[in-house]
Structure 1
Amino acid sequence: MDKFYQALTLIGFILYWLLVAGVTIRVVFKPRPVGVSLAWLMIIYIIPVLGVMAYFLIGELNLGRTRGERARAMFTPYEEWFAQVHNCQHHQPQSISHRISAIHNLCSNRLGIPALSGDTLSLLNTPAEILTAIVRDIEKAEHEINMEFYIWHHGGLADSVASALIKAAKRGVTVNVLLDSAGSIDFFKSHWPKLLKNSGVNIVEALSVSPFRMFFRRLDLRLHRKIVVIDNIIAYTGSMNLVDPQYFKQNSGVGQWVDVMIRLTGPNVAVLNTIHAWDWEVETGIRELPTQPECPISIDPFNHTTQVVPSGPGMPDDIIQQVLITAINQARTSITITTPYFVPSEILLHTLRTTAHRGVEVKLILPKKNDSLMVSWASKSFFETLLKAGVQIHEFNGGLLHTKSVVIDNSHCIIGTVNLDMRSFWLNFEVSLIVDDPEFTKQLSWVLDGYLEQSTPVELTVWQQRNLPHRFTERFFSMFSPLL
């Protein structure tokens, strides 16, 4: 009997290492950043069995068979829709400034989405201002409201949005709401979904999380976009989830979340609506492509340009990181970046250092306290390298700074849902706006100046005095940074 168990153990040992060898080959030959591959190999070899299981569950992009088939069938009609937008008079490639011409060419060639002029943009930077404006526009809706968010958390002014949607549905407005399953888990447990559905609101749980589904698709792919479109005339997007910060994560110890949103009217409303339509169809199989933007006979040649950039699985690989790096490389005088989660890729880290080395003033504003322990420690592992290169790092003390923005040369900016981490670059469904409008950018710069007033600069000499346990913890979590 002992020999039987010994033989069984030996067979199990051999089979396990054959499995590890097979997974290793798969990791090595999978095209992706080297750092990600090395991080996975470390996990597989350091954590027996569980490391291999983790790789099978979340190691590779996999939307699932149904979503994958739908997405493939959707490419042609959506490609044709965006091709028509190129013919709209709001698309004026000859008038696009040098500031974003490279980004426009990149997005036009890889995404098929053109930059459009003629939008009217308003920057909203307080929760009350944002949620009140959304409610006010919902109350005026006549035909259709399309929304998608990563988090909807009930309470406070967020409930006012829900009540406004119920009233809109009851007066005959079509209301489609798409919410991420994991991000909005508390909302789906509340009484609101049933109340909304009974009132005629269509609510869909995106990327549902369950133990059964983990065998068919990757569980940590998340719908991180924040979009509201009303009557294909008004749209909102930005960093804020559908939450009232006074009622959201009050016990997390990081303070209230700080965000901005953009309210826009003009041709790019239809583009944002089409991104929602894509996400809606991937989840439901129902196609609801919006009408094309209206193309007037003539438009103001001095209207500034906005480029919409959706990113995530199913989109061109690495598109948002390419946009960011292109923008940073073109900076001449200054760059100010805000992000709650800072775990840069090797190429982004190199780009930031190089930009500072060539004399550009680079400011990075991060929250002092973070709701993610791993990200908080991993991000600190990059501080010394950046500080030595001349990058200015400021830690925001006024809550969890959740605004995701990049201001370049105080003339144009990037604003949206993308964090500077590998998750936003590779795993999350995101959306960003590149705005070539000095006046709008000036408004955003004023907001960022307000953040700086509530921040403490990180000094290199002081930072270098941190103790050994602090340094060890940084380095430990930094090993996982390609996966965060």
Structure 2
Amino acid sequence: YIHLESFNYRSDSIAKELFTLLAEKAKEGVTIKALFDDFGNLSNSRPLRKEHLKMLAERGVEMARFSPIRFPYINHVFCRDHQKIVVIDGKVGYTGGMNIADYYINGLPEIGPWRDMHIRIEGPAVQYLEKAFLGVWNKETHEGLKEGQVAHDTLCEGSGRRVAIVQRIPKVCPEIMREAYIAALDAAERKVQIINPYFTPTRKVRNAIKRAAERGVRVEIMIPGKSDISFTPDAGFYIANKLRKAGAHIYVFNGGFHHSKIMMVDERFCTVGSTNLNSRSLHYDYEINAFILDLPTTAELGEVFQNDKLNSTIMTREEYKKRSVWRRFVGWFAHLFTPVI
């Protein structure tokens, strides 16, 4: 079986290739179940339409929408399914920040290359990705599918690396992701490195970043210079500048849009996942992150960060002042909405 969950699948050449492959696997007798968020689907420029879903169903690819948009069209406000999960036969799993779209390869004209991060997991941790997928699948389809009904083979043994799968489930464990990030920041002794695309962290997360800087921890935060969403980046620049004043080191990535959601702590452990450091992810949506307690993996991500520094501008007082008075005002105004964006 193959289980997939994504915020959206853009109807383009990558999705076509993916669904062609899934249809071939379905012909071989593989059970295919795929989830997408209806708001995420309708908000992208090339959504999956009814005719696509009908064609996929006829070819053996079972699709389900999370929270279908219906009158009065406000259900998407409360929570969305922002998770990205793939589980194959209960043995191999993937999670991270990637959706299914051509721009991951080709970029977008207005922002340039699109950068992102996913992680491949084998071993016992995969069962927690499976559980997370089934929780949302059953909520939408009411099938009552259980792990025991799909895990046909035993899980492969882990490598000895410790992996914790942390899932934010609205109304069940709504604070867990925020608490996980704050606990990681409070545990830091030497260095924290963060890459996050929509950087408008909640007050408690900002305070944890400030506490780390006050303890003498070197806090390095990388934000994209360009974004696919207007308004939010201005708030992000405003907040990043405030954290710069509190002792954080801010790097503005110039190589396109960095959509990765990663954090490395003391070169000891790291996290890769779907969670943006904003209120939507920390207070409203379904999210999932892998927290990895492993030196080589953390070092590998640290190397990515170091290389991306070479294509970044350090935010100084002078650099921030180069932004127009209007953009700085928009940033101040936008940051007032951080409890909801």
Length-normalised TM-score, structure 2: 0.92
* 1:328/1:226 CA distance change after superposition, 3 Å: same
Which of residues 96, 99, 107 in structure 2 aligns to 1:238? 96
Q: Indicate the residue corresponding to 2:217 in structure 1.
A: 360
State the one-letter code of the partner of 2:298.
Answer: T
Q: Cα deviation per residue 1:90-138 (whole Å; 9 max; x = unaligned)?
A: xxxxxxxxxxxxxxxxxxxxxxxxxxxxxxxxxxxxxxxxxxxxxxxxx
Q: Indicate the residue corresponding to 1:333 in structure 2.
A: 190
- Counterpart Cα distance in 2 of 1:187 and 1:475: 33
- Counterpart Cα distance in 1 of 2:14 and 2:328: 42
State the one-letter code of the partner of 2:246.
Answer: A
Residue 413 of structure 1 and its aligned partner are, at CA, apart by 0.3
Bigger-Rg structure (1/2): 1
Q: Indicate the residue corresponding to 1:279 in structure 2.
A: 136
Matched, 1:423 2:280: yes
Q: What's the % identity of the aligned pairs? A: 28
Matched, 1:205 2:65: yes
SS at match of 2:48: helix
- Counterpart Cα distance in 1 of 2:94 and 2:169: 19
The structure that is strand-richer by fraction is 2
**Contact 2:273-2:288 within 8 A present in 1 as well:** yes
**Contact 2:5-2:85 within 8 A present in 1 as well:** yes
Q: Indicate the residue corresponding to 1:194 in structure 2.
A: 54
Q: Indicate the residue corresponding to 1:412 in structure 2.
A: 269
Q: Indicate the residue corresponding to 1:348 in structure 2.
A: 205
- Counterpart Cα distance in 1 of 2:162 and 2:258: 27
- Counterpart Cα distance in 1 of 2:145 and 2:246: 49
- Counterpart Cα distance in 2 of 1:256 and 1:480: 28
Matched, 1:479 2:336: yes
Matched, 1:379 2:236: yes
Q: Cα deviation per residue 1:11-44 (whole Å; 9 max; x = unaligned)?
A: xxxxxxxxxxxxxxxxxxxxxxxxxxxxxxxxxx
**Contact 2:10-2:41 within 8 A present in 1 as well:** yes
Q: Cα deviation per residue 1:346-379 (whole Å; 9 max; x = unaligned)?
A: 1111111121121111110111001221211111
- Counterpart Cα distance in 2 of 1:395 and 1:250: 19
Q: Indicate the residue corresponding to 2:326 in structure 1.
A: 469
Q: Cα deviation per residue 1:190-231 (whole Å; 9 max; x = unaligned)?
A: 8532321110111111111133453xx454521100001111
Residue 248 of structure 1 and its aligned partner are, at CA, apart by 7.3
* 1:249/1:467 CA distance change after superposition, 3 Å: closer
Residue 330 of structure 1 and its aligned partner are, at CA, apart by 0.6
- Counterpart Cα distance in 1 of 2:325 and 2:128: 51
- Counterpart Cα distance in 1 of 2:331 and 2:81: 29
- Counterpart Cα distance in 1 of 2:241 and 2:26: 53
Residue 384 of structure 1 and its aligned partner are, at CA, apart by 2.8
SS at match of 1:456: strand
Q: Indicate the residue corresponding to 1:393 in structure 2.
A: 250
* 1:408/1:482 CA distance change after superposition, 3 Å: same
Q: How does 1:20-419 map to 2 (within 5 A)?
A: 144-185=1-42, 186-189=46-49, 192-212=52-72, 214=74, 217=75, 219-245=77-103, 250-251=108-109, 253-291=110-148, 294=154, 303-419=160-276
- Counterpart Cα distance in 1 of 2:194 and 2:288: 17
- Counterpart Cα distance in 2 of 1:259 and 1:469: 30
Q: Cα deviation per residue 1:66-109 (whole Å; 9 max; x = unaligned)?
A: xxxxxxxxxxxxxxxxxxxxxxxxxxxxxxxxxxxxxxxxxxxx
Q: Indicate the residue corresponding to 1:90 in structure 2.
A: none
Matched, 1:438 2:295: yes
**Contact 1:312-1:425 within 8 A present in 2 as well:** no
Residue 471 of structure 1 and its aligned partner are, at CA, apart by 2.8
**Contact 2:35-2:65 within 8 A present in 1 as well:** yes
User: Any runs of at least 4 consecutive aligned residues in structure 1 with deviations exceeding 4 A, and if so which?
Assistant: 246-249, 292-296, 464-467
SS at match of 2:263: strand
- Counterpart Cα distance in 2 of 1:435 and 1:383: 26
Residue 464 of structure 1 and its aligned partner are, at CA, apart by 4.3
The structure that is helix-richer by fraction is 1
- Counterpart Cα distance in 2 of 1:396 and 1:441: 20
Residue 246 of structure 1 and its aligned partner are, at CA, apart by 5.6
Structure 2: gaps of 5 or more residues: none
State the one-letter code of the partner of 1:205.
Answer: R
**Contact 2:5-2:35 within 8 A present in 1 as well:** yes
Residue 245 of structure 1 and its aligned partner are, at CA, apart by 1.8
**Contact 2:39-2:76 within 8 A present in 1 as well:** no
- Counterpart Cα distance in 2 of 1:462 and 1:339: 20
- Counterpart Cα distance in 1 of 2:107 and 2:52: 18
* 1:344/1:246 CA distance change after superposition, 3 Å: closer
State the one-letter code of the partner of 2:86.
Answer: V
Structure 1: gaps of 5 or more residues: 1-143
CA RMSD across the alignment: 2.2
**Contact 1:187-1:193 within 8 A present in 2 as well:** no
- Counterpart Cα distance in 1 of 2:228 and 2:206: 23
Residue 249 of structure 1 and its aligned partner are, at CA, apart by 7.3
Q: Cα deviation per residue 1:427-473 (whole Å; 9 max; x = unaligned)?
A: 11100011001011111112222222221111123324655333322
* 1:218/1:227 CA distance change after superposition, 3 Å: closer
